[in-house]
Amino acid sequence: MKTHITFRQDDTDLSVHDCGTGNALVFQHGLGGSEAQVAQVLPQGLDWRRITTECRGHGSSTLGTRRPFSIAMFAADVIAAADKRGIGRFIAGGISMGAAIALHLAKKHPERVKGLILVRPAWSFACAPENLAPIGEIAALLRSHSLADGQALFAKSATAQRLRVEAPDNLASLLGYFERPDAAAFADVLGDIASDGTGVSQEDAANLAIPALVLGNRQDAIHPLAVAQLMADTLPNAHFLEVPAKATATEAHFAAVRTVILQFLNTEFKHRSVAHP
């Protein structure tokens, strides 16, 4: 069973996808993504209730007028959606920005988050990490040039030249930001989030004694393998796995992610009730 609702938060319409039954898994997409990205990385027929809130400006959710955008803002929206859907305790997970949101939730709401799934985390413990600088560059170009001119300038930039060699999959995703129908308005989301942090220090993470799964891959300049390794080394009960590179083995990457997530959930939580207070 799959339910799609929209509810009002401030002056923003938030889109929430609620599917399946059983224990609750709150799983968030990455920057520029949507619920469809989440569905791509989770196993079919997962015996869990999965809730995904499309962040402001993503999917069917509107931007609203509150600024700046932040990981904390998006995490607060996720909690509001969980409350709206009657979810008490849950496993928090996500991809890239979604992983940052999940980590923030674990620190901010330890009484509710019973486990973590961090897929290709882009943030460790600092604001505005260098690996997200290309997204800041794109935000600046979107604010100062037409979409076509901005895309052409970025494509010729030193950053793009480096990524063509090191991480072509990242480059394709970054260029895609210029092709969004809402690209000009979305520049605020890109700039604000790329310069933000999770609000979780390394000491905070070291005190999160909950089961965690951290997945990283190579050939990914936006989501460096070293970030995933640091996160796994810091979280005291983390399982770390390097999965095939999304850039060169897309199908193998997603197959591995789905398999490992299913194994983690079955091993760590199969006999635990985490859906209710």
| Residue-wise pLDDT tens digits, 10-21 | 999 999 999 999
Query: Are 80 and 166 members of one domain?
Result: no
pLDDT the model gives residue 1 = 78
Domain termination residue (choose one: 195, 217, 245) = 195
pLDDT the model gives residue 191 = 98
Query: Are 17 and 135 members of one domain?
Result: no
Query: Are 117 and 217 members of one domain?
Result: yes
Return the amino acid letter for 125: F
Query: Are 74 and 86 members of one domain?
Result: yes
Token look-up 């100062």 returns 144
Token look-up 């002056």 returns 11
Domain termination residue (choose one: 144, 178, 195) = 195
Query: Are 118 and 177 members of one domain?
Result: no
Q: Choose among 180, 222, 190: nearest CA to 68.
A: 190
Query: Are 172 and 215 members of one domain?
Result: no
- How far is 67 from 46, CA to CA, in rounded Å? 36
**Containing domain of residue 47, as a range?**
2-127+196-270
Query: Are 99 and 223 members of one domain?
Result: yes
Question: Does residue 200 lie within any of the structural domains?
Answer: yes
- How far is 223 from 218, CA to CA, in rounded Å? 8
The model's pTM is 0.96
What is the average pLDDT score of the chain? Answer: 96
Provide the pLDDT confidence category of residue 272 given band limits of 50, 70 and 90.
Answer: low
For residue range 141-178, what is the model confidence (pLDDT) as tens digits?
Answer: 999 999 999 999 999 999 999 999 999 999 999 999 99
Total number of domains in the chain: 2
Query: Are 13 and 100 members of one domain?
Result: yes
Question: Does residue 122 lie within any of the structural domains?
Answer: yes
Question: Does residue 276 lie within any of the structural domains?
Answer: no
